[in-house]
């Protein structure tokens, strides 16, 4: 069977490296190009020693260019690039009829004005916003992804937050206000870059909040929660950096509507996600070590009788379900394949 030809732009970053590893063993995919400015001319095995002996070990990184991508014959291009830069590739690729799976924030928001508010710059390709699909499979549904040409893969924080909350808001089991969220992320979530704040000596033995009170991911969190609730939802969200390489845990405090208890929440989760392989409702409080290097999200709920609140917990791998693995999951569905292909 002929394999689908794919390319990865920005393949030397943490999410890009995960994509390379996942797609290299994907039974339906052939990687025909990987790009990176700093790694151009080197082989995949030289840049990623763990890929030595793989089918793509000898492929050389090339400079990122539209000509190189088109000449590769790729029919799907994964973009593991910073926001703003991804759109520079996405627009001409879509014009050429090439499917784009974008891991940046460029096409997650439906409003160019909201993008400008949270990212501090004019949207680089507003004409594509209407075409993009917010590619969180468990939330948007498989029908929205099938045949989609532009998949806007969600951020890691939003994934860990939206999956627990959206079914509850849709079912009116919780009040849309107040919702208070605290999330903890491993250092790889900041990307592979030279930054003093991310040096080992700065992060080791240290826990700190950042991006408060208006982290960029708030924009897509509130967009999707508002859609689920059928009204504007505003949340309090504080992200934290923790000294682990990968992993993410979110704790969400919500006010239940009358009659909602932990059993009702679990029933809603099971009902909404009964056909979703990567959702796990667990009896224990989710622990990031149980989901690292996977596309799973573990969720749990507890009742706080003293305050009358419900506590929702989730754990994901920020590079897996929060980035590369989820992108492959959405890509699988868009191609009409089983969502687990290449992921389990």
pLDDT one-digit tens code per residue, 186-198: 998 877 776 788 7
**Banded pLDDT at 207 (limits 50, 70, 90):** very high
Q: Which tokens belong to 65?
A: 């260019």
d(CA 133, CA 140): 8
Judged by DSSP in three states, 15 sits in: helix
- Could you give the angle at the alpha carbon of 98 between the alpha carbons of 93 and 104, nearest 5°? 60
Distance CA 51, CA 107 (A): 31
Mean pLDDT on 203-215:
92
Write down the CATH number for the domain with range 157-316: 3.30.360.10
pLDDT, mean of residues 71-76? 96
> Is the predicted pLDDT of residue 222 greater than 90, yes or no?
yes
Distance CA 34, CA 7 (A): 6
Contact 112, 133 (CB under 8 A): no
**Residue 201 confidence class, pLDDT cut points 50, 70, 90:** confident
pLDDT of residue 190: 76
Within 44-193, residue ranges assigned H as helices are: 44-47, 66-72, 85-95, 112-119, 137-140, 142-145, 156-170
**Alpha carbon separation from 179 to 60, 238, 287, 299 (Å, rounded):** 48, 12, 22, 17
Q: Is the pLDDT of residue 134 over 90?
A: yes
Given this model, what pLDDT does residue 198 score? 79
By DSSP bridging, strand 133-134 and strand 76-79 are unpaired
Query: Is pTM beyond 0.85 here?
Result: yes
Q: Give the mean pLDDT of 130-148.
A: 97
Work out the average pLDDT over 269-293: 97
Query: How far apart are the C-alpha atoms of 325 and 126, rounded to whole Å?
Result: 27
Q: Annotated active-site positions, please?
A: 156
Q: Is 191 exposed, middle or buried (0-12, 13-18, 19+ CB in 10 A)?
A: middle
Per-residue confidence (pLDDT) for residue 126, from 0 to 100: 95
Most distant CA pair in the chain: distance in Å? 63
**Quick one: pLDDT band at residue 54, thresholds 50, 70, 90?**
very high
* Domain extents in the chain: 4-153+323-334, 157-316
| DSSP calls for 239-295 | EEE-SSSS-EEEEEEEEEPTT--HHHHHHHHHHHTTT-TTEEE-SSPP-GGGTTTSS
Average pLDDT, stretch 217-232? 98
Once rounded to an integer, what is the mean pLDDT over residues 111-133?
96
What integer best gives the mean pLDDT of the chain?
Answer: 95
pLDDT for res 196: 82
Provide the pLDDT confidence category of residue 203 given band limits of 50, 70 and 90.
Answer: confident
How confident is the model over 180-205, as a mean pLDDT? 86
pLDDT classification of 87: cutoffs 50, 70, 90: very high
Confidence of residue 202 (pLDDT cuts 50, 70, 90): confident
pLDDT at 199: 84
Using DSSP's 3-state secondary structure scheme, residue 344 falls into: coil
CATH T-level topology, domain 4-153+323-334: Rossmann fold (3.40.50)
pLDDT of residue 197: 80
Nearest Cα residue to 245 out of 200, 186, 298: 186
Q: Which of 118-132, 191-205, 295-309, 310-324 is the least confident region?
A: 191-205
> Bridge partners of 311?
253, 302
């Amino acid at each position: 069977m002929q394999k689908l030809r794919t390319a990865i732009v920005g393949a030397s970053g943490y999410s890009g490296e995960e994509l390379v590893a996942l797609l290299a063993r994907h039974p339906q995919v052939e990687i025909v190009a990987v790009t990176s400015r700093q790694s151009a001319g080197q082989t995949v095995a030289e840049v990623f020693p763990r890929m030595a002996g793989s089918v793509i070990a000898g492929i050389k990184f090339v400079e990122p260019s539209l000509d190189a991508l088109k000449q590769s014959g790729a029919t799907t291009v994964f973009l593991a690039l910073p926001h703003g830069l991804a759109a520079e590739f996405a627009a001409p690729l879509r014009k050429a009829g090439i499917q784009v799976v974008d891991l940046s924030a460029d096409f997650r928001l439906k409003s160019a004005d909201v993008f400008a508010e949270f990212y501090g710059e004019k949207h680089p390709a507003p004409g594509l916003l209407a075409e993009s699909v917010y590619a969180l499979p468990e939330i948007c549904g498989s029908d929205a992804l099938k045949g989609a040409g532009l998949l806007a893969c969600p951020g890691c924080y939003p994934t860990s937050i939206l999956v627990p909350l959206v079914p509850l808001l849709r079912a009116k089991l919780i009040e849309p206000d107040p919702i208070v969220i605290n999330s903890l992320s491993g250092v790889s979530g900041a990307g592979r870059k030279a930054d003093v704040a991310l040096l080992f000596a700065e992060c080791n033995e240290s826990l700190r909040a950042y991006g408060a009170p208006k982290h960029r991911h708030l924009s897509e969190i509130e967009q999707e929660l508002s859609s689920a609730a059928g009204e504007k939802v505003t949340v309090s969200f504080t992200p934290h950096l923790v000294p682990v390489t990968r992993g993410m845990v979110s704790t969400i405090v919500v006010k239940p509507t009358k009659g909602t208890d932990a059993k009702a929440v679990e029933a809603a989760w099971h009902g909404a996600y009964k056909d979703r392989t990567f959702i796990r409702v667990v009896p224990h409080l989710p622990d990031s070590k149980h989901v690292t290097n996977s596309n799973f999200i573990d969720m749990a709920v507890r009742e706080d009788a003293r305050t009358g609140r419900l506590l929702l917990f989730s754990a994901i791998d920020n590079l897996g379900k929060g980035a590369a693995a989820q992108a492959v999951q959405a890509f699988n569905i868009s191609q009409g394949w089983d969502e687990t292909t290449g992921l389990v």
